[in-house]
């Protein structure tokens, strides 16, 4: 029986389609359940999202910022769809709460909301472009020439504006003669998968792909009989691994709609039925998957739910991609001498995968520290910078006699491969394996080091305790050239200098007497190392003050081969305020924008390290909107940050949330003043006030994966 489920999109779609017998296909792998092959798998855990599900329909979730956008008919309205007798479908947003699952619910957008249906959506990776399904009104004529209204489904594009979605436009392959719906943008933004009943397909609705060329779209291509059947095939989702998830009533589905996976890197992709617990005798559809392939969300009309169709969260400890060519494959890494071409034995290889936001995955990759602003010592700056090659944890691999090392990597993923060897300059390569031509070989030549590695330490003269944030100017007495470095949180610094010269070091830091020292590289060969010690005496304690300017987050995507990547550090004590302006909010929204998670994760790491630390999150808005609205909005923003931190294991008792609204603007952008968006954005921030800590903390902590 056809249910209302989809049906925005499929209530319209199915009307008038012939009911054809189920297709029998040798290519379908429904008997090869994804969780029944090979060794015993860990159980998949499902959870009905009762906080957002209702007696109405909820379906087709999509990841957006720190939450989900989904379709529901729950809105109480007098306008009903005459075909279903139900409310029109609309888009809602739910933010992840402290448990990492959807929590509060709010309308997604005013601009893309209409008097008819809005359906499944898809976003660009940076969440600045939206593709969504909606109705357009089409006048048809029956056999008696009596005008009657029907609705056709089309896909529209919208751009993120300062207030809402804007620049809405219809995609060129839409038509008044057939439906286009269920858009799914590929992670790189180059392809749009969607469902359509356009002429020339294999059945009721097929899945198509259109390719983007500049600002234009190609003519849509049918994905062919490997994917499409005589039944309805819809709800595509394209994962960065190259796998397409979709729902179909064909491929010998066990119920209404079943969820399938197909590896699209193959010319003739095999289709696998996900099997239980994903598929039941009811409709199961609209699956989305996180980047690592081990958790996600989908829609199901199975028994025991809250309403007609509900959204479920799942955790698959062994992943959903282990049967496909997206499984990591072996890459040969060849490390050679750049001059001779011979392999280098014993080179240390570190392999780091790049996340979608450009940062490298790993728990020991970045230093995240509060530092003194060089332009204003009374301000604190929150910085993140990649460590020097040799400081990033233990090597992933070490090369064999011929200079080779072997590592498993995933096709289509981006990696940074870092190589170090005594006597050679460090080297790094960006690498994205494709496995299109069989074996993947990455060649990395190393050049002999032409300098001496100086491993220095700045310490107090009395206690020999490491001094962080000391600025050191190293002068080459041979030619007068200088290098400037800063000691890290332990007081260490690293620099590479030419051999055969004498050097002086001038060390400065507030609260300490400026000191000078010297060393010489005479008699040492390039590629060797030398240790040196710099001592400083205190003049008095350094005062800590509340910063008065924004805290920014910076990162370095490339490093020099010899210089260290350490940053300054500072002290944090009760009463200090750190402004995290990089936690950006859209106008009128309490949602934390994508990319802010790393700042908050750094704060989580600090609170884990110092369990006595209690904080106050103080959120501010810009001046736009009423005073009351902004007061309420700022509190919601602070609560949003609190939920994020507590979801990472920090007790809520250690966090208080406050909203100051527009009371403390940091520039001239008051009511009635015409300001640019970036000027308003400067006022939207969340401050972290250290409410309690049992001692003054020397900040030195590492960012963790969000």
pLDDT in tens, 378-393: 444 555 567 777 777 7
Q: Say if CB 203 and CB 230 are below 8 A apart.
A: yes
- Percent of the chain topping pLDDT 70: 73
Lowest mean pLDDT among 323-337, 473-487, 577-591: 577-591
Whole-angstrom Cα distance, residue 415 to residue 350?
10
Give mean pLDDT, residues 538-562.
36
Average pLDDT, the chain: 76
For the cut 60, the answer to whether the pLDDT of residue 405 exceeds it is yes
As a CATH number, domain 452-536 is: 2.60.40.1120
For residue 643, the surrounding DSSP H or E stretch is: helix 627-647
Q: What is the pLDDT of residue 321?
A: 62
pLDDT of residue 649: 85
Q: What is the pLDDT of residues 633-677, one digit of tens each?
A: 888 888 888 887 888 789 999 999 998 988 888 888 998 888 887
Per-residue pLDDT at 195 exceeds 70: yes
The band of 35, judged by pLDDT with boundaries at 50, 70 and 90, is very low
Ranges 24-38, 81-95, 272-286: which has the least confidence:
24-38
Q: What is the dihedral of CA 16, 20, 25, 30, to 10 degrees?
A: 80
User: Tokens at residue 660, please?
Assistant: 């100051």
Note whether 507 and 516 are within 8 A (CB): yes
Length of the chain: 706
> What per-residue confidence (pLDDT) applies to 43?
82
Return the higher-pLDDT residue of 85 and 262. Answer: 262
Per DSSP, the three-state class of 607 is helix
As its CATH architecture, domain 571-702 has: 2-Layer Sandwich (3.30)
User: What value does the mean pLDDT take over residues 321-334?
Assistant: 68
Is the pLDDT score of 145 beyond 50?
no
Superfamily of domain 8-315: TolB, C-terminal domain (2.120.10.30)
pLDDT value, residue 207 = 96
| Better pLDDT: 136 or 394 | 394
**Stretch 239-253: mean pLDDT, rounded?**
90
pLDDT at 578: 66
32 — pLDDT class (breaks 50, 70, 90): very low
Q: What angle is formed at CA 691 by the lines to CA 685 and CA 695, rounded to 5 degrees?
A: 125
Judge if 329-363+390-446 and 452-536 fold alike in CATH terms.
yes
The 397-398 sheet, strands edge to edge: 397-398, 348-353, 415-420, 427-431
Higher pLDDT, 118 or 142: 118
Tokens 């595509």 sit on residue = 236
Q: 465 and 486 in contact (C-beta within 8 Å)?
A: no
CATH superfamily of 329-363+390-446: Carboxypeptidase-like, regulatory domain (2.60.40.1120)
Distances (CA, A) of 506 to 50, 219, 356, 464, 479: 63, 66, 41, 18, 17
Report the pLDDT value the prediction gives residue 151, as an integer from 0 to 100: 61
pLDDT score of 546: 32
Residue 631: exposure state from Cβ atoms within 10 A (0-12, 13-18, ≥19): middle
223-227, 305-309, 338-342, 698-702: segment of lowest average pLDDT: 698-702
Q: What is the DSSP letter of 402?
A: T
pLDDT on residue 590: 64
Per-residue pLDDT of 436-471, as tens digits, reads: 556 789 999 999 888 888 889 999 888 888 887 788
User: How large is the average pLDDT for residues 344-368?
Assistant: 75
302: helix, strand or coil: coil
pLDDT at 131: 95
pTM (2 d.p.):
0.50
**Mean pLDDT of the region 278-307:** 91
Contact (CB, 8 A) for 208 and 194: yes
How crowded is residue 576: how many other Cβ atoms within 10 Å of its Cβ? Answer: 20
Q: Cβ(133)–Cβ(119) under 8 Å?
A: yes
- Domain ranges for the chain: 8-315, 329-363+390-446, 452-536, 571-702
pLDDT of residue 552: 32
CB atoms within 10 A of CB 138: 13
């Amino acid at each position: 029986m056809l249910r209302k489920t989809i049906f925005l999109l499929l209530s319209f779609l199915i009307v008038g389609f012939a009911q054809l017998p189920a297709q029998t296909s040798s290519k379908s792998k429904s008997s090869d359940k994804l969780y029944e092959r090979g060794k015993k798998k860990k159980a998949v855990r499902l959870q009905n999202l009762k906080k957002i599900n209702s007696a109405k329909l909820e379906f087709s979730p999509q990841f957006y910022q720190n939450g989900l956008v989904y379709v529901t008919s729950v809105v109480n309205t007098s306008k009903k769809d005459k075909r279903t007798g139900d409310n029109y479908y609309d888009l809602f947003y739910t933010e992840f709460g402290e448990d990492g699952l959807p929590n509060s619910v709010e309308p997604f957008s005013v601009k893309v909301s209409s008097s008819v249906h809005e359906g499944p959506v898809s976003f660009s990776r940076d969440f600045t472009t939206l593709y969504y399904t909606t109705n357009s009104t089409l006048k048809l004529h029956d056999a008696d020439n009596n005008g009657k209204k029907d609705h056709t489904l089309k896909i529209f594009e919208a751009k993120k504006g300062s207030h809402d979605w804007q620049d809405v436009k219809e995609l060129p392959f839409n038509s008044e003669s057939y439906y286009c719906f269920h858009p799914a943008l590929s992670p790189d933004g180059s392809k749009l998968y969607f469902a359509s009943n356009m002429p020339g397909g294999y059945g009721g609705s097929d899945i198509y792909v259109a390719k983007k060329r500049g600002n234009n779209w190609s003519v849509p291509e049918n994905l062919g009989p490997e994917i499409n059947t005589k039944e309805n095939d819809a709800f595509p989702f394209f994962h960065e691994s190259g796998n397409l998830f979709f729902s179909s009533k064909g491929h010998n589905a066990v119920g209404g709609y079943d969820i399938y996976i197909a590896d699209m890197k193959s010319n003739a992709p095999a289709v696998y039925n996900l099997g239980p617990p994903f598929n039941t005798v009811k409709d199961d559809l609209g699956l989305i998957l996180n980047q690592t392939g081990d958790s996600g969300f989908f829609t199901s009309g199975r028994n025991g739910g809250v309403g007609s169709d509900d959204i479920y969260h799942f955790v698959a400890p062994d992943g959903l991609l282990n049967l496909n060519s997206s499984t990591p494959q072996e890459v040969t890494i060849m490390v050679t001498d750049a001059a001779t071409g011979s392999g280098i034995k014993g080179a240390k290889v570190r392999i780091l995968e790049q996340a979608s936001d450009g940062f490298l995955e790993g728990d020991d990759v970045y230093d995240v520290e509060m530092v003194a602003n060089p332009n204003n010592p009374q301000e604190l700056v929150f910085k993140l910078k990649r460590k020097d090659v040799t400081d990033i944890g233990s090597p992933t691999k070490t090369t064999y006699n011929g200079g080779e090392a072997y590592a498993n990597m995933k096709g289509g993923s981006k990696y940074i491969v870092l190589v170090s060897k005594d006597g050679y300059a460090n080297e790094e390569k960006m690498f994205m394996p494709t496995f299109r031509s069989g074996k993947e070989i990455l060649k990395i030549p190393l050049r002999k080091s032409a300098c001496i590695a100086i491993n220095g330490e700045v310490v107090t003269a009395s206690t020999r305790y490491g001094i962080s944030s000391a600025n050191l100017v190293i002068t080459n007495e041979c030619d007068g050239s200088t290098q400037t470095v800063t000691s890290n949180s332990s007081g260490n610094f690293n620099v590479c200098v030419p051999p055969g010269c004498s050097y002086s070091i001038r060390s400065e830091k507030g609260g300490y007497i400026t000191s000078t020292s010297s060393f010489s590289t005479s008699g040492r060969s390039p590629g060797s190392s030398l240790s040196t010690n710099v001592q400083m005496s205190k003049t008095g304690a350094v005062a800590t003050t509340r910063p008065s300017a924004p805290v920014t987050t910076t990162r370095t995507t490339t490093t020099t081969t010899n210089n260290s990547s350490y940053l300054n550090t500072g002290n944090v004590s009760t009463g200090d305020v750190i402004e995290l302006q990089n936690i950006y909010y859209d106008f009128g929204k309490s949602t934390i924008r994508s990319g802010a998670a790393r700042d908050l994760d750094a704060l989580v790491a600090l609170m884990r390290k110092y369990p006595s630390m209690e904080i106050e999150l103080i959120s501010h808005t810009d001046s736009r909107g009423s005073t009351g609205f902004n007061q309420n909005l700022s509190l919601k923003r602070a609560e949003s940050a609190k939920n994020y931190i507590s979801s990472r294991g920090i007790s809520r008792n250690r966090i208080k949330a406050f909203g100051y609204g527009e009371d403390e603007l940091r520039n001239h952008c008051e009511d009635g003043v015409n300001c640019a968006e970036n000027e308003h954005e400067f006022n939207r921030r969340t401050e972290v006030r250290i409410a309690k800590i049992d001692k003054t903390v020397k900040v030195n902590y590492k960012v963790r994966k969000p």
